[in-house]
Amino acid sequence: MENNELLKEVTAKAQVWLGEGYDTETRAEVKRMLDADDKTELIESFYKDLEFGTGGLRGIMGAGTNRMNIYTVGSATQGLANYLKEAFKDLPEIKVVVGHDVRNNSRKFAEIVADIFSANGIKVYLFDSFRPTPELSFAIRHLGCQSGVNITASHNPKEYNGYKAYWEDGAQVLFPHDVNIIDHVNRIKSIEDVKFNGDKSKIEIIGEQIDADFLAAVKGLSLSPDVIERHKDLKIVYTPIHGTGVKLVPESLKNYGFTNIIHVPEQDIPSGDFPTVDSPNPENPSAMAMAIAKAKEVEADLVVASDPDADRIGCVIRDAHGEYVLVNGNQIVMILLNYLITRNAELGLLKGNEYVVKTIVTTETIKSIADKNNVKMFDCYTGFKWIAQVIRDEENTMRYLGGGEESYGFLAETFCRDKDSVSAISLMAEVLAWAKDKGMDFMQMLQDIYIKYGFSKEAGISVVRPGKTGADEIQAMMKNFRENPPKTLGGSEVIRIKDYSALTEKDVKSGEIAKLDMPATSNVLQYFTADGYKVSVRPSGTEPKIKFYIEVKGTMETNADYDKANTDGEVKIEHVKKDLGIA
């Protein structure tokens, strides 16, 4: 489309937003963009509609069809309400839970969502203020609701907000409900179709009682209360990074029995501006800097963090040299699953029908841990809605022990169906107490896992290719990897290739092709080598990038071998990157 045609189109769309159906503030903002000499902001705000995808909405806040605002949120909610009334037409009353995080406008959006649901005759439980995402999932199940909405953009930059839709099992929506909701949202063609005038009699404010019920359920996950009692004074630094975790994480740690929880006061302040960090993502060392500084000051045993909506966990431990080092997402899942399996075995609770879940891009060391303990392991696609699906499929036949993904998410329970930093942080502290009781520090315990189950080193690399040309380049890269797969990676021969878009697994030597048992197709390629290396390649579904997940293997016979194994792993990863052409 020529620039003049594009400008004409966005101008026409913007002028609709000057109508009486829009509030004064919005009309003024749109008029400012229309009158500006530089039309960049106008084009960015209106050149497309913010799409309601399989997970909901996410975008920059502001006026316009391509922005998060009361009108795009309103249209999404009206579409969801229409589908709920169709899907649950036989119920005497449809019920939903609405929650939100600390971001700017989150409360405003949540109240509008509640109003629209209520105007459509739907009963709404609205949290009295911000809450962790996992508590919303819990509340949907606990209150017997059919759906829920959380206003959050997770750990995105402060300019963003988002809208996550949940189904009656407390998980984010999956097929067929995701596509049906999208269809109903797309049917909303005018703001006049949205019922903004709420029915306050159908909105019930919830808060403290759900907090208490959720925290009691989390406390029920503890497997080592006696061990905690012996090590209750462990120094634990916790930061919510200005987010919702401040509501429940410290309280949960206290419930578990820990008495020495050290805060980072500046980051206890809830703020959608996230003033002390560049990015509120606990994966990033910079986001953990203040907590690490506090840990050095008090000589802490453990540093833990949650992201703004408190579903992801960050973790820092002391290495053999006394330095504070980040635990990566793969290691978090590995540590927690190893503890849950081992502790269940110690307590005589393993009956042979237990299982764990990981995503296909998460470390294969977890499979080694599960196999050697006779625990079944399921692989699923990236995203906790897929882990929730496994739980749903198996809940009447097997016992779930835990599941997680390399992107710093873990779920230890079934009363919630989304990743949960509240329970994960509480259990991580319990793991440390358990290790201490065995005469180990955290690093020694991690090293012992590697000695017993094999050493692995992982790296995630994102190659960014913005714009339409970038999207075409990413598509070409995936096509090339399919048609010309690497023969070796890091000096190790590729022996198996999985293609999840075709749901096939190829034995490279024999040429035999087997069918992959997955619930849907996905644009993911995986290469497995003779030395146990794994490389996964997939385009991002939300950003202009292609992602590579690299896992290499090594050996450790004693704790003293850790540094060398780690260094060797880094060298192997660099070789793999060169073979992939991304070094």
Residue 542's pLDDT is: 60
Judge whether 442 lies within some domain: yes
- Going by the DSSP 8-state scheme, the letter that residue 201 receives in this structure is G
Judge whether 506 lies within some domain: yes
Residues 91 and 198 grouped into a single domain: yes
Residues 316 and 410 grouped into a single domain: yes
Residue 261's beta-bridge partner residues?
236
Residues 258 and 178 grouped into a single domain: no
The tens digit of pLDDT for each residue in 525-553 reads 999 999 999 999 998 766 678 999 999 99
Extended strands (E) in 177-286: 203-206, 236-239, 261-263
Distances (CA, A) of 34 to 3, 43, 44, 61, 309: 15, 10, 12, 18, 35
d(CA 407, CA 386): 14
- Mention every residue, 6+ apart, whose C-beta is less than 8 A from residue 9: 1, 47
Residues 237 and 373 grouped into a single domain: yes
Q: Are 68 and 110 in contact (CB under 8 A)?
A: no
d(CA 547, CA 540): 7
Report the CATH number at residue 497.
3.30.310
Q: Are 539 and 478 in contact (CB under 8 A)?
A: yes
Domain total of the chain: 3
Sheet strands side by side (includes 409-411)? 376-380, 354-359, 399-405, 409-411
Judge whether 99 lies within some domain: yes
Q: Which of 387, 419, 452 is the last residue of a domain?
A: 452
At 172, is the secondary structure helix, strand, or coil? strand
Judge whether 12 lies within some domain: no
Residues 311 and 410 grouped into a single domain: yes
Residues 308 and 360 grouped into a single domain: yes
Residues in the chain, how many?
583
Residue 583's pLDDT is: 78
Domain enclosing residue 498, as ranges: 455-580
At 331, is the secondary structure helix, strand, or coil? helix
CA 5 to chain CA centroid, Å, is 39
Catalytic residue IDs: 154
d(CA 427, CA 413): 11
- Mention every residue, 6+ apart, whose C-beta is less than 8 A from residue 402: 336, 337, 340, 356, 357, 410, 411, 412
Report the CATH number at residue 82.
3.40.120.10
d(CA 133, CA 384): 12
Judge whether 243 lies within some domain: yes
Judge whether 240 lies within some domain: yes
d(CA 246, CA 306): 9
Residue 325's pLDDT is: 95
d(CA 116, CA 202): 11
Q: Are 66 and 45 in contact (CB under 8 A)?
A: yes
Residues 156 and 178 grouped into a single domain: yes
Residues 238 and 378 grouped into a single domain: yes
Residue ranges for the chain with pLDDT beneath 70: 1-2, 467-468, 541-543
CA 41 to chain CA centroid, Å, is 30
Q: Which of 452, 468, 496 is the last residue of a domain?
A: 452
Residues 401 and 519 grouped into a single domain: no
Residues 309 and 430 grouped into a single domain: yes
Residues 531 and 565 grouped into a single domain: yes
Distances (CA, A) of 491 to 31, 497, 565: 60, 17, 17
- Mention every residue, 6+ apart, whose C-beta is less than 8 A from residue 183: 83
Judge whether 27 lies within some domain: no
CA angle 526, 532, 533 (to 5 degrees): 50
Residues 477 and 428 grouped into a single domain: no
Q: Which of 206, 223, 248 is the last residue of a domain?
A: 206
CA angle 164, 280, 173 (to 5 degrees): 15
d(CA 470, CA 397): 46
- Going by the DSSP 8-state scheme, the letter that residue 227 receives in this structure is H
70 backbone dihedrals φ, ψ, rounded to 5°: -65, -25
At 372, is the secondary structure helix, strand, or coil? helix
Judge whether 38 lies within some domain: no
Residue 1's pLDDT is: 43
